[in-house]
């Protein structure tokens, strides 16, 4: 029997709705919020208001593009967290309203699980490559950096996580001090292509096990800039490409070191990446090359599934629906991951 799921994502600054039939994506609509660019970061209050304005047109468009009427939906999947609580509230409240009004069951989704399960989505005209279970997923987003062992779509174990900043945060914060626009990750990715990755040396952490740390790198980046700018005020402008290339390469080396260790110690050879930073072209090339050397099968998400989107929420919702785990009408958002585990 076919299962049709409406996915709703509003955890940060993208309002998104998608329709999925089994594994096949019928529509995926994303309204990105330009309002934050001039502040150099997401302003939670403004994000909530923009979600409020966007949510109805976005859901409406997703249903129309999919050619699906509301009453054909088997369930509404929504991001319960982690994320900004005011942003999450808009999606959660919308899902409740639609669920109660049209008597459609709701399923809650963990945003991070959504990122990982984006690897199971297919497109109407072609199947995408799916990893076999168990696989390892390097989840790299603006708020999280972790290595997850995925035993099944609903059985996941965090093997390692960041003890301070996330990889996306390292990109965004370093971009900010160079005067680059928000979000910094894509801008650094572009500028790095013109630069020398060996021009500067930044600190690498020494962390046991599979955990990550990026605050030392951030500090060493800041000190390099501070000292250099004191001598030559136009230092950043003249060295932008080299700074970006060196920073990006260091972040990738840090990410790969623990991932290689996790693959070796678990013996797992299906390796995926997910989350906003998995759009990074340097990281995609580096994982592919590492995989070729080590006999891994590597899985890179389609670019449209790297940053926040509702398709992945619908995919995770599909599995939750099959478990029969429905959300009750008094459910509330969970800003922190710990509240969801
Ligand atoms: O997964 P995501 O859309 O939102 C969160 O759940 O956090 O990830 C956003 C992060 C931001 O830090 C952004 O700078 C980063 O993903 N990002 C990139 C690239 N595209 C997005 N970082 C590096 N290179 C990129 N091409
Ligand atoms: Zn995300």
Mean pLDDT in residue range 242-271: 98
For residue 73, how far is its CA from the centre of ligand 1 (angstroms)?
Answer: 31
For residue 74, how far is its CA from the centre of ligand 1 (angstroms)?
Answer: 31
Inform me whether the pLDDT recorded for 216 exceeds 90: yes
Mutate to test the pocket of ligand 1, among 16, 115, 118, 141 (most ligand atoms within 8 A of CB): 141
Q: Which atom of ligand 1 is nearest to the CA of 112?
A: 6
Which residue's CA is minimally distant from atom 14 of ligand 1?
185
Digit-coded pLDDT (tens) for 105-129: 999 999 999 999 999 999 999 999 9
CATH number for the segment(s) 135-301: 3.30.420.40
Evaluate whether 16 touches 28 at the Cβ level (below 8 Å): yes
Inform me whether the pLDDT recorded for 38 exceeds 90: no
Question: Which residues lie with the beta carbon below 6 Å from any ligand 1 atom?
Answer: 12, 141-143, 168, 171-172, 183-186, 189, 275-277, 279-280, 307-308
Domain assignments of the chain as residue spans, ordered by start: 4-127+305-339, 135-301
Q: State the chain's mean pLDDT as an integer.
A: 97
Domain 4-127+305-339 falls in which CATH fold? Nucleotidyltransferase; domain 5 (3.30.420)
Digit-coded pLDDT (tens) for 153-209: 999 999 999 999 999 999 999 999 999 999 999 999 999 999 999 999 999 999 999
Mean pLDDT in residue range 201-229: 96
For residue 311, how far is its CA from the centre of ligand 2 (angstroms)?
Answer: 12
Q: Which atom of ligand 1 is nearest to the CA of 182?
A: 14
**What's the pLDDT at 33?**
85
Of the listed ligands, the closest to the CA of 281 is 1
Which residue's CA is minimally distant from atom 20 of ligand 1?
186
Which residue's CA is minimally distant from atom 24 of ligand 1?
280
For residue 329, how far is its CA from the centre of ligand 1 (angstroms)?
Answer: 32
Q: Which atom of ligand 1 is nearest to the CA of 171?
A: 14
CA distance 54 to 32: 9
Mean pLDDT in residue range 17-45: 92
The length of the chain is: 341
């Amino acid at each position: 029997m076919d299962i049709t799921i409406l996915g709703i994502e509003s955890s940060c600054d993208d309002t998104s709705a998608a329709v999925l039939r089994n594994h096949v994506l019928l529509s995926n609509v994303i309204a990105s919020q330009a309002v934050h660019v001039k502040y150099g970061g997401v302003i939670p209050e403004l994000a909530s208001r923009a979600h409020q304005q966007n949510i109805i047109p976005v859901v409406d468009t997703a249903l129309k593009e999919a050619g699906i009427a509301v009453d054909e939906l088997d369930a509404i999947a929504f991001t319960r967290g982690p994320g900004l609580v005011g942003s999450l509230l808009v999606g959660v409240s919308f899902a409740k309203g639609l669920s109660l009004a049209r008597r459609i069951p709701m399923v809650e989704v963990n945003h991070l699980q959504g990122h990982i399960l984006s690897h199971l989505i297919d497109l109407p005209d072609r199947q995408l490559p799916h990893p076999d279970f168990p696989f390892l997923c390097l989840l790299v987003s603006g708020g999280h950096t972790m290595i997850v062992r995925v035993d099944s779509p609903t059985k996941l174990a965090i093997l390692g996580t960041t003890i301070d900043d996330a990889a996306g945060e390292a990109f965004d914060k370093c971009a900010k001090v160079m005067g680059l626009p928000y979000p910094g990750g894509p801008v650094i990715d572009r500028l790095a292509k013109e630069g020398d990755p060996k021009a500067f040396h930044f600190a690498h952490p020494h962390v046991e096990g599979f955990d990550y740390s990026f605050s030392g790198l951030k500090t060493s980046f800041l000190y390099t800039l501070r000292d250099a700018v004191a001598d030559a005020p136009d230092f950043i402008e003249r060295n932008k490409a080299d700074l970006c290339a060196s920073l990006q390469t260091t972040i990738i080396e840090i990410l790969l070191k623990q991932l290689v260790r996790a693959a070796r110690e678990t013996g797992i050879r299906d390796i995926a990446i997910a989350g906003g930073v998995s759009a990074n072209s340097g990281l995609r090339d580096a994982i592919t090359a590492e995989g070729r050397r080590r006999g891994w099968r590597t899985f890179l998400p389609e670019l449209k599934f790297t940053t926040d989107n509702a398709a992945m929420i619908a995919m995770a919702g599909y599995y939750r629906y099959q478990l029969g785990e429905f959300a009750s009408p008094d459910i509330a958002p969970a800003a922190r991951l710990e509240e969801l585990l």
